């Protein structure tokens, strides 16, 4: 049977993977050649962004200078994008997942499966939920996850990197590998959705720490220490809440590699450095520096703090707790090395 892929999201990362998926589906017989991409409609230079993408084949706002394949079709209507899809690729900020799933419920084919490229967790009064679980529970379909050391612009420029797909059903993992894998974007698949997903969410908190270290000009040894302590706390948290998370997952691209690249580049590091050098709040810097993108590290730090404080566990996670307090309680940034 022919699989049909739809992309939910078209920001910087969404557009970079659209380029890969658009090319890959045309190489295989078992995929429909058209890939619809849902675009939250906005005006750019007086024109609809969808019209610009469909005529210029470029997302001039979120991924300028990169040509998208002509079989990627921008669509402003979420239902129309997804109604005939058998493979959904979620690549939106995590705060939009609930409303998207509500709109899609009962409107997609029964044999549909999903993959989440979203780095975040959903916190509620009872604790927290993984994004893949939100998708599975609300739509009644299986969901994989993709996460790795994948700064979007570098992927779009075809600079070599790796990524990790976590699956529960191996056939799903292999199908999604088909649409993502290229010689410059190397995919490894592992049977550990939870481990891959938690790495992707938690490393953004550690990246705030990396940026604070840069702003304080503390040097490479200090940053390496923050990365090591961060990886240790990521693993400890994952194992504490999900006993079957695999140790090997932390050595995949989604684990140590993503942590390193996010602490070296990426928006969380950049904004945290500016927080130290300018003294401005994270909210103000997000608006000034990110061109409408969301800063994931601060909100995830807040989510983590809420989980840990409810369970009286903050003392067991000194790095994540200190980063939260610097972001939200005006703790001086130098405390990043004093309080851990």
Record the pTM.
0.94
Q: Percentage of the chain with pLDDT > 90? A: 93
Torsion of CA 207, 211, 213, 215, to 10 degrees: -170
What residue ranges of the chain are covered by domains with CATH 1.10.1040.10? 196-338
Average pLDDT of the chain is 96
The string of DSSP letters for 117-137 reads ----EEEETTEEEEHHHHHHH
128: left (phi over 0), alpha (psi -120 to 50) or beta: beta
Question: Is the domain defined by 196-338 classed in CATH 2.70.98.20?
Answer: no
Round to whole Å and give the CA distance between 116 and 131. Answer: 7
**What confidence tier does 120 reach under pLDDT thresholds 50, 70, 90?**
confident
Annotated binding site: 9-14, 40, 96, 119, 152, 267-268, 294, 296
| Token couple for 333 | 């940034």
For 146-198, the pLDDT digits (tens) are 999 999 999 999 999 999 999 999 999 999 999 999 999 999 999 999 999 99
Strands 72-75, 87-90: pairing is: unpaired
- Which among 262, 131, 113 is positioned nearest to 196, based on CA atoms? 131
Q: Which residues of 198-221 are buried (b: 16+ CB within 10 A; e: fewer)?
A: bbbbbbbbbbbbbbbbbbbebeee
Annotated binding site for substrate: 119, 267-268
The string of DSSP letters for 39-104 reads ----EETTEEHHHHHHHHSS-TTTSTT-PPPTTEEEES-HHHHHTT-SEEEE-S-GGGHHHHHHHH
pLDDT of the residue at 236: 98
**16-20, 55-59, 121-125: segment of lowest average pLDDT:** 121-125
Check if the beta carbon of residue 296 is closer than 8 Å to that of residue 204.
Answer: yes
User: In this structure, how many other beta carbons lie within 10 angstroms of the beta carbon of residue 35?
Assistant: 27
For 269-311, the pLDDT digits (tens) are 999 999 999 999 999 999 999 988 888 899 999 999 999 999 9
pLDDT of the residue at 95: 83
CATH classification code of 5-191: 3.40.50.720
- Which among 144, 149, 200 is positioned nearest to 176, based on CA atoms? 144
| Token couple for 298 | 């601060």
Annotated catalytic residues are: 203
Mean pLDDT of 10-24: 97
Annotated binding site for NAD(+): 9-14, 40, 96, 152, 267, 294, 296
What residue ranges of the chain are covered by domains with CATH 3.40.50.720? 5-191
């Amino acid at each position: 049977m022919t699989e049909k892929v739809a992309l939910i999201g078209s920001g910087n990362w969404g557009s970079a993977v659209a380029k890969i998926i658009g090319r890959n589906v045309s190489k295989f017989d078992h995929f429909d050649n058209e890939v619809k991409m849902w675009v939250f409609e906005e005006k750019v230079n007086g024109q609809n962004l969808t019209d610009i993408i469909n005529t210029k084949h470029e997302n001039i706002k979120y991924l300028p200078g990169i040509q998208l394949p002509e079989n990627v079709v921008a669509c402003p209507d979420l239902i129309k994008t997804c109604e005939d899809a058998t493979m959904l690729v979620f690549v939106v900020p995590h705060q939009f997942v609930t409303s998207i799933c509500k709109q899609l419920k009962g409107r997609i084919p029964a044999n549909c499966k999903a993959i989440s490229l979203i780095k975040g967790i959903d916190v509620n009064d009872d604790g927290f939920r993984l994004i893949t679980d939100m998708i599975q529970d609300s739509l009644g379909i299986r969901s994989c996850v993709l996460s790795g050391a994948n700064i979007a612009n570098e992927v779009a420029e075809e600079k070599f990197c790796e990524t990790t797909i976590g699956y529960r059903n191996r056939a799903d993992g292999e199908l999604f590998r088909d649409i993502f894998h290229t010689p410059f974007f190397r995919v490894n698949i592992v049977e550990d959705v939870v481990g891959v997903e938690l790495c992707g969410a938690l490393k953004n908190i550690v990246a705030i720490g990396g940026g604070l270290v840069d702003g304080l000009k503390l040097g490479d040894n200090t940053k390496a220490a923050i990365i090591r302590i961060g990886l240790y706390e990521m693993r400890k948290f994952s194992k504490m809440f999900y006993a079957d998370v695999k140790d090997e997952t932390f050595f995949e691209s989604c684990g140590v590699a993503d942590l390193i690249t996010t602490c070296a580049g990426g928006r969380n590091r950049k904004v945290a450095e500016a927080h130290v050098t300018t003294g401005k709040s994270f909210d103000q810097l997000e608006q000034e520096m990110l061109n409408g993108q969301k800063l994931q590290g601060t909100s995830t730090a807040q989510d983590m703090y809420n989980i840990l404080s409810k369970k009286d566990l903050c003392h067991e996670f000194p790095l994540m707790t200190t980063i939260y307090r610097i972001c939200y309680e005006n703790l001086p940034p130098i405390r990043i090395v004093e309080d851990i």
